[in-house]
Chains A and B, each alone.
Chain A
Amino acid sequence: MKLKKFAGIFATATLAVGLLAGCGAGEKADGDSSSSKGGDTIKIGVNLELSGAVASYGTSELSGIELAVEEINAAGGVDGKDIELVKVDNKSDPAEATSAALKLITQDKVVAIIGAATSGATVAQAEIANGNEVPLISPSGTSPTVTVKDDGSVNEFVFRTSFIDPFQGTVAANFAANDLGVKNVAIYSDNSSDYSKGLAASFKKDFEAAGGTVVAEESYVGKDTDFRSTLTRIKAANPEFILIPGYYEEVGLIVKQAREMGIDVPLMGADGWDSPVLMDLAGAEALNNTFTTNHYSSEDPDGIIQDFNDKFEAKYSKAPDAFNALGYDTVYLLADAIKRAGGADSVKIKDALAATSGLELVTGLYSVDENHHPVKSATILEYKDGEQIFKTKVNP
């Protein structure tokens, strides 16, 4: 009896909440459409992971996006028109991202979409963007498949702000060969991750092209905890440098165990290392003499970056991270294209985006190649006593 009553109350409450939420959304949509009737704004859709498993990426990018839009509008907008954002939450779900993209294009009539943060959710929208001829820019989708289909053809309307995964391998190879001057290296990659395998392959190709030798190639599987036996094998091969292109959960343990076993050569990884958890797992001391490639460093003395830091801190009172910067840059990338397209026509914007060259952004000098892969600089960071220190910026 009691249970039934409770279920009744629960059902009523759910219904009420649902109705209220529905009303809220309806009102908001109405508000949006009425303001666009004036025709003095440029509508840009934002389709990001604002809740769900990778919500931290989406929300970080959104704060960057909002800061950029605020700045552009305060400075008179693009061609005298203000940018208006239409935000949708794709709940970190590719299917949700697809329907959100459809809604943005058909109901809200946006001229371009920013999002999603992850490669998977961006690929899910690619066909809709192509079919409806609306440009789609992912701030942080790093898989090559976002813009290039399996058959090798390019998703004409899809772009991205971040560099692609294999590029980090290339940057790491150049850094190891030229800056560190090492000859014999080992690669220890995650066999269960395409990200890690892609990075390892491009590193190997470019490092061998630069005259180096890969003396050991080992793999682990994500969620492993014991790496000592493989590290013993790597140690026996006597490498001068080890590339570990994985995610922080395993990398933290690998770095710690390697240092315990007396492997004190430089270790290097990519943006998958970027998490405070890495520091907890490995410990500050073990992370000394390790390097990572990343999109951006707030330590970079470059004027445009310091300027961005100040503005971001003034608005959100915290230091920006790479995702904040990528979100911010995406808006400027799009605004630049709209300006060059001479108006808010989606197809012209697409052509302008594809012709972007030498655009100065916070995350580096940006150009687009024929596969819609960005050609841009990467930042190399070094861990020193628990701090990420800006080491150098590498141009491709």
Chain B
Amino acid sequence: MEWLQQLVNGISLGSIYALIALGYTMVYGIIKLINFAHGEVFMIGAFIGYFCIAGWGLGLFPALVIAMTSCAIIGVVIERIAYKRLRNATRIAVLITAIGVSLLIQNGVIYMRGAQPEAYPAVLANKSFDFLGVQISSQSILILSVSVGLMIILQFIVHKTKIGKAMRAVSYDSEAAKLMGINVDNTISATFAIGSALAGAAGVIFGIYYTKIDPLMGVIPGLKAFVAAVLGGIGIIPGAMVGGLVLGVVETFVSALGFSLWRDAAAFIILILILIFKPSGIFGKNTREKV
């Protein structure tokens, strides 16, 4: 029973990684940019959700919607200010800019409100269900269902809508897409908006599940989500979901075996192994592309 319980713990943790990884992988899929500021958008989402719930007394779903909308706007602003000018620059230049933006946001938030942690209010009555001797909390179920729900919506947007078609076209060949009358800038902005909205949602859910939020909370989940995205095949939406869940479960089992001090190391060992043996990820086709 202990192992079943650990599996439940791992899936809950993995769902949050998956939700952040979805945004990562989308942005990478369209403009081949590893957006390191994604973890910070996640952090801002958590704080916006906190202010909605604790400050204005809103419920969970209004807070989730407000956080997602604000993060979408912030994502677009970041893209317009920091990345747009670098559209034809080398990939390393854009990568370094992304790291810079990430540090700027972290320290900006610390400057505005200090570095002390904040406790999320208990907005959701947390019931535990006893299933085959395993405790499953209502929060775990919420996290998993929100993650899966958003992934399905995302798949729908990418494969069934006009903007999704434009995204796929830009991803395939942005020059040709432009020739076919697609507004590349708007498409990229839309990608950032959707990806950042997902990060915002993940921030609010993280706050509810783990209670503690602080200005540096985006760093480690951001890196883990990056590992999850690479693990599943960067640029592939179901891959990010599966990668996140696998990573969460692996980390949990590392702890469950008594190596809790190695759990962060385990994530990065996975990253290294994947990059050596199957750089395209679990779901990737074997095209020769470096991450």
Contacts and interface: CB of A to CB of B under 8 A. Distances in A.
Contact of B255 (A229, A249, A253): A229
A233 B1 CA distance: 11
Contacts of B217: 225
Given A229-B9, A253-B212, A277-B119, 17 more contacts: A220-B260, A220-B261, A221-B264, A225-B210, A226-B9, A228-B252, A229-B256, A230-B260, A232-B6, A232-B9, A233-B2, A233-B255, A249-B117, A249-B212, A252-B119, A253-B210, A260-B128
Interface size class of B (residues with CB under 8 A): 20 to 34
Interface string A222-257: 010110111011001000000000000100110010
Interface in B115-137: 116-119, 122, 126, 128, 135, 137
Contacts of B13: 226, 228
A275 to B, nearest CB: 10
A191 B264 CA distance: 14
5 A-B pairs closest in CB distance = A280-B119, A229-B255, A229-B252, A228-B9, A225-B210
A232 B211 contact: no
5 contacts: A218-B260, A225-B212, A226-B210, A230-B255, A262-B135
A260 B137 contact: yes
Interface string A282-296: 010000000000000
Contacts of B128: 260-262
A354 B284 CA distance: 71
A282 to B, nearest CB: 8
A38 to B, nearest CB: 45
A158 to B, nearest CB: 32
Contacts of B9: 226, 228-229, 232
B244 interface: no
A249 B116 CA distance: 10
A219 interface: yes
Contacts of A230: 255-256, 260
Interface of B: 2, 5-6, 9-10, 12-13, 116-119, 122, 126, 128, 135, 137, 210-212, 217, 220, 251-253, 255-256, 258, 260-261, 264
B2 A232 contact: yes
B222 to A, nearest CB: 13
Nearest to A188: B260
Interface size class of A (residues with CB under 8 A): 20 to 34
A224 to B, nearest CB: 8
A261 B261 contact: no
Given A229-B252, A262-B128, A277 B2 contact: no
A257 to B, nearest CB: 9
Nearest to B211: A281
Nearest to A217: B258
A74 B253 CA distance: 65
A219 B210 contact: no
A252 B212 contact: yes
Given A256-B211, A277-B119, A232 B260 contact: no
A225 B261 CA distance: 13
A232 B6 CA distance: 7
Contacts of A261: 128, 135
A277 B116 contact: yes
Contacts of A226: 9, 13, 210
Contacts of A252: 119, 211-212
Interface string A83-124: 000000000000000000000000000000000000000000
B207 to A, nearest CB: 11
Contacts of B255: 229-230, 233
A232 B261 contact: no
Contact of A229 (B10, B119, B211, B220): B10
A189 to B, nearest CB: 11
B260 A229 contact: yes
A78 to B, nearest CB: 40
Nearest to A226: B13
Contacts of B252: 228-229
B2 A260 contact: no
A228 B211 CA distance: 13
Nearest to A279: B119
A58 B166 CA distance: 60
Nearest to B256: A229
B126 A236 contact: no
Residue of B116, B118, B210 with most chain A CB atoms under a 10 A cut-off: B210
A281 B212 contact: yes
A221 B261 contact: yes
B258 A233 contact: yes
A191 B117 contact: no
Contacts of A253: 210-212
B78 to A, nearest CB: 25
Contacts of A218: 258, 260
A229 B255 CA distance: 6
Contacts of A256: 211
Contacts of A223: 220
A249 to B, nearest CB: 6
Nearest to A218: B260
Nearest to B118: A280
Contact of A232 (B116, B117, B119, B256): B256
Contacts of A236: 2
A283 B119 CA distance: 9
Contacts of A262: 128, 135
A260 B128 CA distance: 7
Contacts of B122: 283
A256 B209 CA distance: 10
Given A262-B135, A281-B119, A233 B212 contact: no
A92 to B, nearest CB: 14
Nearest to A249: B117
B210 to A, nearest CB: 5
